[in-house]
Structure 1
Amino acid sequence: MDVFDILDRLVAFPSVAGKPNGDIAGWIEAYLAERGAKVTLLPGPEGNRSNLFATIGPADVPGYILSGHMDVVPAGEPQWSSSPFVLRPDGERLYGRGTTDMKGFLAASLAVVPALARLRLARPIHLAFSYDEEIGCRGVPHLIVRLPDLCAKPLGVIVGEPSGMRAVRGHKGKAAARVTIKGRAGHSSRPDVGLNAIHAMSEVLAAAVSEAERLTHGPFDPAFEPAYSSLQAGVIAGGQSVNIIPDSCTLDLEARAIPGVDPASLLASVKARAEALAAGGFRIEWATMSAYPALSLPQDASLAALLGELTGEAPLAAVSYGTEAGLYQAAGLDAIICGPGDIGRAHKPDEYILASELTACQRMIEALGARCAA
């Protein structure tokens, strides 16, 4: 199978984040096993989703991980020109959900496996494919904790998120949370006997806006746009009718932190303001929705030099989106981003990747294989 056949098969799996992924994980497992890779499925605690780890070459020697996620975002937008889960070629463009983010990288990695197997690698190349990346990098921590049982400590991790095949050394960290306020319903004519959850939430929202403004004053990291950490209220919902005192209100918050700043710490003042409302009789629930640390690979790291040689371009300092790379780095592994496609095409109707981007990714992985065979 060539890279286009493989991408066609992968896109056909509607592997939306948060859903069972046995079909896609099982297909990849069989493909790799048939081509001589040592493959391990790693079920997550959810019971119906698994990570996958595979090794080509000797597992007891330090090598490199090619990291990607099998899940995609939903594709319910009516603007799709064709079925999102059927690969549609149109010239250089290959349309379908996940083509760029990030089944294109998976397809390129899988397509190169037979060539890697023929090289009789002295250093291994591992494939680490995760689940539920799109809802907060929930799957990969369960994979990372198993790495000591699966292989020698890797020399580096290449996370194949879409970067136009330009290596990237950094990204911001993220923390997202949902605060729910429970009050007491009643007729709107008697506000004195109810507890208005929306009114209470306005204090939490004000705290979030205040913290967002404070963050614009630094600290700064000029590698990013914007150069400071940020916080926003993204979704708010509550109430049933204008003449009913709302007994419930929810607010979803997101913080993005420059390297060196704990993303969760940016939400601390907002959480404190919410919890203070309990003194007024409200019930407060705070739930973490997602969290991952920033990535900051030093410019002089050997992994950065390697990717510069493999791609022919010096790595970029940073991108605005987040990836699983920060979690690998937090676990003590050097990590870098480099993959086919453009993040600007992701998470929207008529997502596509270019055929030339897939072949460029294959060439990069083949070049890595040649290094590992030397």
Structure 2
Amino acid sequence: MGNRGSKKIDEPQQILPPEIIFEILSWLPLRSLSQMQLVCKAWQELIYDHHFIGKHMNRSNVVCYWHNVTVSSDYRQSPPKSDSFSYVHGCDGLVLLKNNSKHKYCLWNPAVRRVLELPDPHGHNHGFALSFVPSTGRYIIVAIYSDEESGALSCEVLTPGHSKMWRHLTFPDINANRQRKTEKVSLISSGGVDHCVLVLSDGKEIIREIVSLDLEAECFTVNHLPKGLFDDWETVWDLEWNGKLAFAVIIEQNLEVMILEDYKKGRWSLKKKAIRLTFLEKYKYPQENIFPLFAKNGDIWFWLKNEKILVYTIETVQIAHVIRSEAFSPENKLYVYKPSLITFEGMQPDTNMAKLRPPKFDRLFDRLS
């Protein structure tokens, strides 16, 4: 038995296992995480780990959306000087924007209020895509453009925070003799792959090709669209369908979808998926004014022209949410995301972008009346 008068020595506190700390922190709101990262270096590294970021976003109930807006960069000027920003692409709470007034591009995180100015890409751009590459632990921006001299399609990539110049990738020359005119180019990002959908014309017929870029291997695969897939391609939309490339068209009360199941093997779904759209008949929406945007987690997102965005749940065949958005257009490529703490070296405070920060998504939801 020790002496009663001796000084008690405190035992060291037991440290929680890393996996328990991971679980606890992943449930905290974003504002609390921004404070928790200051506790110690280990917590800071954990909070900025991509696996943790993914877990936190999955558990967060805060959802935001983005499409084009115009913001006054300096309201003190008369007349005010305005910068028009266009949404280009997004990933993990990051927003790739084009400043239409200055013809510059930037990568912005509204949650942490920081922005990264990007080096100028080539002109004659057809599309950009921002993605995360697990094998490198880095984000990558892919740009498809037409070469100014030859007119051939080309590709360049940028690793934000790690490189200050765009890097060229050799794009497959599927129009070597230049006898085909490029009518349309669209870029769909899905599951670590960027799909470039090309519409070419030789004056007699329309040819559609798909050039897919594996972001980890940085190699391209070319696929041909099956002939006779759709009768009228003018009404067909290319879109992301649960991490895969798909083509969809509305026929009567159904959405018919053809999915590229395995782009490396050129394997398509055996038949078109037919999804009943009960809201078309119930609410008497004109079919020509409904456009599918993308499908994710059992929901299909539609745009009702000049009115609203509809979130349609396949299982319940009901509209789950309505987003009032008269100013939206398909060119905006609606970006639905959950905020994150992702930052890059070289980011600066977004001093002139305060009015660009989107409101909380759940405040904009209205139940369909």
TM range (shorter): under 0.3
User: Normalization by structure 2: what TM-score?
Assistant: 0.24
Larger fraction in helix: 1
- Decide which structure has greater strand share: 2
Higher RCO (CA-CA < 8 Å; seq separation 6+):
1
Structure with the greater alpha carbon radius of gyration: 2
TM-score normalised by L of structure 1? 0.24
